[in-house]
Amino acid sequence: MAGHAEHNEETGSVGHIAPARLYVAIWAVLMVLTLTTVLVSMVDIGPMNIVVALVIATIKGTLVVLFFMHLRYSPKLTMATVIAAVFWLFLLLSLTMTDYLTRAWSTYPGH
Amino acid sequence: MGDIQVAERALQHHFADMEQQRETSSFGMWMFLLTEIMFFSGLFCAYLVYRASYYHAFVEGSQKMNITLGATNTAVLICSSLTMALGVRAAQMGKPKLMAILLLITILFGFGFLGIKAVEYHEHWVNHEFPGPNFHFETGDPAHPATDAQHTEIYFSLYWAMTGLHALHMVIGIGLVAWLVIAGLMGAYTPHYYNPVENVGLYWHFVDLVWIYLFPMLYLISKKHGG
């Protein structure tokens, strides 16, 4: 229901009211993922360690934003705001790293 | 005074109805959080650049972290986010006392987080792991005996700056939630008007979100020397 905030019939509240058990379920998943990320970090899987850690963090973050922060029930404008934030973050990090990670590529002697 | 009268009083004249007012207020909060993301991103970007340049120094620095305390704090923040979300829900349903109880538990979790963080900070402080003239770091890695202590100092600079800025947000968050408890018990919020509760909730979850990334980036870099 990402279209428009609804009017809750029961309480007359403006905005969507999510069931309490949904919040508890999200909390449980977040706790399990926290334990998982700690346990995986104990195992050495080389460069995959950081990949797994960031993937788990991103899943956790997405759950927080979608449910705890009600993005799933928010207007499309809010969704666009979040996507813009992620896009700008991507620009900042990727364009910076294209500089730093390619400095060693210089093939000219003395550079 | 009934709910409707409170609601009418809370509707500002430049909005058509309560729903439009709520959506506008929530959009404004999201725009603020967007600037907050960019604010933290400067530090995340600096972290990425130095981690790519001095990976071994970052591994050694991260091995000084107390993972048990860090993981406990992650759990504490997730619990605080649950009570915050349920607190917003209580406000939506017009239950100010339940909201106050849930938000007070949120505040307790917030202080719990800061307390654990203070224990960690103290450990780092007495071990000379604070950047500056008293910084001291012995490399414990035979494979990389030349790991420069100055590069580890960069790791600790970022650690203190990032967790410090995060802790400052926690302190502000606790203050805001305390304000909601008082205003809520005085009857400021109804199912028609709870924008401040919703927006402080967004802020609280955002601070949790930042920690969700800080924890693996600072504590869980690698268990193995040299990665």
Closest CA in chain B for residue A15: B19
Report how far residue B79's alpha carbon sits from residue A31's, in angstroms, rounded to the nearest whole number.
9
On the question of pLDDT at A1 being above 50, the answer is no
What percent of chain B lies above the pLDDT cut of 90?
73
Do the Cβ atoms of B192 and A13 come within 8 Å? yes
Give the pLDDT confidence of B144-181 residue by residue, as tens digits: 665 678 889 999 999 999 999 999 999 999 999 999 99
Cross-strand partners of B52: none
In whole numbers, what is the pLDDT of chain B averaged over residues?
90
Query: Which residues on chain A are in Cβ contact (under 8 Å) with B33?
Result: 85
Nearest to B19 among A5, A49, A88 (CB): A5
Where does B18-219 sit in CATH, by number? 1.20.120.80
pLDDT digits 0-9 by tens, B20-60: 888 899 999 999 999 999 999 999 999 999 999 898 889 88
- pLDDT tens, residue by residue, B61-84: 998 999 999 999 999 999 999 999
B111, two tokens: 């202080």
Chains A, B: CB contacts within 8 A come to 154
Bridge partners of residue A8, in order along the sequence: none
Ramachandran class of B66: left when φ > 0, alpha when ψ lies in -120 to 50, beta otherwise: beta
Angle at A94 between CA B38 and CA B146, to 5 degrees: 100
Task: Compute the Cα dihedral for A92, A94, A95, A98 and give only its sign.
Answer: positive
- CA end-to-end span of chain A: 56
What residue spans define the domains of chain B? 18-219
Q: For A88, which residue in chain B has the nearest alpha carbon?
A: B38
Instruction: Name the least confident of B18-32, B137-151, B199-213.
Output: B137-151
